[in-house]
Amino acid sequence: MTIVKYNTLKLISIINILRNMRKKLVMIPGPTNVPERVMLAMVKPIINHRSPAFTQLYKGIIEKCQKVFLTKSDIIVFTASGSGGVEAAVTNIVRPGDKVLVTVFGEFGQRAAEQVEAAGGKAIVADAPLGDAPRMDKIRALAEANKDIKAVFVVYNETSTGVTFRWLKELGKLASDLGAFYIVDAISILGGDELPVDELGVDICIAGSQKCLAAPPGVVIVSVSNKVKKYLESNPPPPRHYFNMPRYFKFAERGETPFTPALPLFYALDEALTMLLEEGLDNRIRRHKICSEAFYRSLSAINLKPTAKEDVRSNVVLAFNYPTGIEDAKFRKLLDDKFDVLVAGGFGEFRGKVFRIGCMGEVNTPHVLTTVTAVSAALNQLGYQNSTAAALDEALKVLSQLN
Ligand X SMILES: Cc1ncc(COP(=O)(O)O)c(C=O)c1O
- Per CB under 6 A, which region of 81-89, 174-182, 259-267, 285-293 contacts ligand X? 81-89
Beta carbon nearer to ligand X, 71 or 188: 188
User: First-to-last CA distance in the chain?
Assistant: 21
Beta carbon nearer to ligand X, 339 or 350: 350
Q: Which residues contact 327 (CB under 8 A, 6 or more apart)?
A: 352, 382
Q: Where are the alpha helices (H) located in 256-364, listed in sequence order?
A: 263-279, 281-301, 328-339
- Which H/E stretch holds residue 125? strand 122-127
Q: Report the phi/psi class of residue 135: left, alpha or beta, with left for phi > 0 and alpha for psi in -120 to 50.
A: beta
Q: Does 163 bind ligand X (CB under 6 A)?
A: no
DSSP conformation class of 190: B
Q: Does 315 bind ligand X (CB under 6 A)?
A: no
Burial of 117 (0-12, 13-18, 19+ CB in 10 A): middle
- Per CB under 6 A, which region of 79-87, 167-175, 297-305, 384-392 contacts ligand X? 79-87
Q: How far is CA 326 from the centre of its chain?
A: 28
Beta carbon nearer to ligand X, 192 or 208: 208
Beta carbon nearer to ligand X, 219 or 302: 219
Q: Which of 92, 159, 257, 376 binds ligand X (CB under 6 A)?
A: 159
Task: Work out how close the CB of 176 gets to ligand X at its nearest, in angstroms, rounded to a whole number.
Answer: 23
Task: Work out how close the CB of 108 gets to ligand X at its nearest, in angstroms, rounded to a whole number.
Answer: 4
Task: Work out how close the CB of 317 gets to ligand X at its nearest, in angstroms, rounded to a whole number.
Answer: 8
Pairwise CA distance, residues 359 & 295, whole Å: 9
Q: Does 30 bind ligand X (CB under 6 A)?
A: yes
Pairwise CA distance, residues 253 & 274, whole Å: 23
Beta carbon nearer to ligand X, 42 or 344: 344
- Per CB under 6 A, which region of 3-11, 44-52, 82-90, 358-366 contacts ligand X? 82-90
Within 91-120, which residues bind ligand X (CB under 6 A)? 108
Q: Does 121 bind ligand X (CB under 6 A)?
A: no
Pairwise CA distance, residues 107 & 112, whole Å: 9
- Per CB under 6 A, which region of 76-84, 254-262, 318-326, 394-402 contacts ligand X? 76-84
Cα–Cα–Cα angle for 102, 107, 109, nearest 5°? 10
Where are any strands of DSSP class E within 334-390?
A: 341-342, 344-345, 354-358
Q: Dihedral angle at the C-alpha atoms of 240, 244, 247, 251, nearest 10 degrees? A: 130
DSSP conformation class of 313: B
The identity of residue 64, as a single letter, is K
- Per CB under 6 A, which region of 7-15, 75-83, 232-240, 305-313 contacts ligand X? 75-83
> 3-state DSSP: the chain helix, strand, coil percent, rounded to 5?
45, 15, 35
Task: Work out how close the CB of 52 gets to ligand X at its nearest, in angstroms, rounded to a whole number.
Answer: 31
- Per CB under 6 A, which region of 134-142, 154-162, 225-233, 328-336 contacts ligand X? 154-162
Q: Does 81 bind ligand X (CB under 6 A)?
A: yes
Q: Does 346 bind ligand X (CB under 6 A)?
A: no
Task: Work out how close the CB of 277 gets to ligand X at its nearest, in angstroms, rounded to a whole number.
Answer: 23
Q: Which of 8, 66, 79, 83 binds ligand X (CB under 6 A)?
A: 83
Within 377-396, which residues bind ligand X (CB under 6 A)? none
Within 167-206, which residues bind ligand X (CB under 6 A)? 185, 187-188
In this chain, which residue has its C-beta nearest to ligand X?
Answer: 82
Cα–Cα–Cα angle for 128, 342, 353, nearest 5°? 40
Q: How far is CA 170 from the centre of its chain?
A: 21
The identity of residue 151, as a single letter, is A
Task: Work out how close the CB of 219 gets to ligand X at its nearest, in angstroms, rounded to a whole number.
Answer: 10
Beta carbon nearer to ligand X, 30 or 391: 30
The identity of residue 229, as a single letter, is K
Task: Work out how close the CB of 1 gets to ligand X at its nearest, in angstroms, rounded to a whole number.
Answer: 38
- Per CB under 6 A, which region of 88-96, 155-163, 225-233, 266-274 contacts ligand X? 155-163
Pairwise CA distance, residues 164 & 105, whole Å: 10
Q: Which of 134, 191, 208, 261 binds ligand X (CB under 6 A)?
A: 208
In the complex, the residues that contact ligand X under the rule CB under 6 A are 30, 81-83, 86, 108, 155, 157, 159, 185, 187-188, 208
